Amino acid sequence: MAAVIRDVSGSELRLFGDIVARLERLGPETDARAVIFNDVIRLLRGDFGASYVWNARSNAFEEAVSFNMARSNLRRYEEWYQFRDPMTFALRARQRATLVDEVIPRHKLVRTEFYNDFLARDGLHHGVNMFVFDGDCDLGVFAFGARRAVRIFALAISICSTRLSRMCGARCCAAD
């Protein structure tokens, strides 16, 4: 059964169209994340977000773009927590937008160091991670967080993911 989206406003539909149009106009050297990230957060009605590019050589996420998250906490992620993250690689394996609760039960997540010392510090209590791939090439992650239960605008995530793959693919994979 297909999901039905019922609570999308006219202004959200216009914002969605604007995001897609901007992605279509981007050149291969432009970081699409920096251009659309804040608007994607607005569209999803999220409270927080971070996006990283995967570096296959260093086996790490780098080049953060963020919304409403403390830079000091993101630095802690880059230096420590990404290497002790109990869910990211399970989310990454899905290669699509996925609720965090789908890969780790909430009652287990809230008992982890990752949750208590990293996520909760900025108020990220619920989340969706979307990994963007171009074929087998991992381009990076968009992580959206909320203080309350997450509302997903699945169509926007799906189309943005497809457009990002097309716009970023050659540039990101060439760097690997």
3-state secondary structure of 45: coil
| Whole-angstrom distance, CA of residue 6 vs CA of residue 86 | 33
Q: Residues 84-112: pLDDT tens digits?
A: 999 999 999 998 888 898 899 999 999 99
Residue 80 belongs to some domain of the structure: yes
Render 87-150 in DSSP notation, one character per residue.
Answer: SHHHHHHHTS-EEGGGTS-HHHHTTSHHIIIIIGGGT--EEEEEEEEETTEEEEEEEEEESSS-
Residue 84 belongs to domain spanning = 30-175
Residue 24 belongs to some domain of the structure: no
* Residue % of the chain over a pLDDT of 90: 43
Q: Residues 14-45: pLDDT tens digits?
A: 998 999 899 889 888 888 888 999 998 888 88
Residue 10 belongs to some domain of the structure: no
Q: Residues 135-154: pLDDT tens digits?
A: 888 878 989 888 876 554 44
Residue 137 belongs to some domain of the structure: yes
Residue closest to 139 by CA, chosen among 165, 166, 174, 113: 165
Which amino acid, 30? T
Residue closest to 69 by CA, chosen among 86, 55, 56, 52: 52
Confidence of residue 1 (pLDDT cuts 50, 70, 90): very low
pLDDT of residue 146: 84
Which amino acid, 2? A
Over residues 113-133, mean pLDDT: 90
CATH number of the domain at 50, please. Answer: 3.30.450.80
Spatial contact of 92 and 114, defined as CB atoms under 8 Å apart: no
Residue 6 belongs to some domain of the structure: no
